[in-house]
Amino acid sequence: MKREAILKGSFYPKTKEEIEKQLETFFSKVKTEKKTDFIISPHAGTIYSGQTAAYAHSLPNKPETIVILSPNHTGYGEEISVYPEGTWETPLGETEVDTKAAESIVKNFSKARKDESAHLQEHSIEVQLIFLQFLFKNFKIIPITLMTEKAEDLKKLSDALLSAEKESGKKFSVIASSDFSHFISAEKAKEKDFKAIELIKKINVQGFHSLVAEERLSICGHSPIEVLMNYCKNKGLTKAELIKYSNSGDVTGDKNEVVAYAAIGFF
């Protein structure tokens, strides 16, 4: 099966040439020599979040298999939806799903289900894919869309990822696809987001989970972030670093109602 591109001409430019030109401009402005295979990257329209996403995607080494964790914006499909097989297409090409690793995740955690429906209209993985296809060749992906906020399930999913990695014999890269605060002033967004980012930097999973719930933070990918934090903690990583922070007002000039973005790497 092929998951066809749905965002060309809307979230990112329509043609291969236009996408490459835009991404070349973004990456030409990136100044970081840090490297990690575990990142948080935004997924808004590239005109707004693409520069920050370029900072995030400058961090990984050449990957073998990339797990892309996304929130479920549509309400379709399973609570934990693992795209099972086939390819994902964008104007930059087709990328193969790591079928064996996807099957291993589903086998290792009963609440993770093979499901395409959650992915068909979901934008937050496809936006990551154009950056990956621009940078790398010959990698596979495991797209996972989340509609659960249960801490226990998010922890068990991270455990299933670790088990699948061991069983596959491959090294996984993991991306949590997330924007940060939505539709508040830039000042308020930064205040709220930096509370969360401080906990992410310490890989304080419980503190992050509680903060999101208690303050009703509008970080759309908080569940993917929590899975990534659990995964990194189990891998022995000790800290995360904020590489770039921005908001839509940096482009539009309207700071009264923004969506915020962060590029974060785990080390």
Tens of pLDDT, residues 214-230: 999 999 999 999 999 99
CA 175 to mean position of chain CA atoms: 4
What is the end-to-end Cα distance of the chain in Å, rounded? Answer: 36
Is 200 within 8 Å of 265 (Cβ atoms)?
A: no
- Give the residue extent of every domain in the chain: 2-266
2-266 under CATH 3.40.640.10, yes or no = no
Residue 265's nearest CA partner among 37, 44, 28, 29 is: 37
The pLDDT confidence band at residue 72, using thresholds 50, 70 and 90, is very high
264 forms beta bridges with 40, 242
Please name which of 187, 203, 164, 177 lies closest in space to residue 53, comparing C-alpha atoms. Answer: 177
> How does the average pLDDT of the chain come out, rounded?
97
The pTM score is: 0.97
Instruction: Quote the pLDDT of residue 199.
Output: 98
pLDDT bin (cut points 50, 70, 90) of residue 87 is: very high
Distance CA 73, CA 87 (A): 21
Q: Are 261 and 53 in contact (CB under 8 A)?
A: yes
Does position 12 have pLDDT exceeding 90, yes or no?
Answer: yes
* pLDDT tier, 33 (very low <50, low <70, confident <90, very high otherwise): confident
**Residues 200, 229 contacting (CB under 8 angstroms):** yes
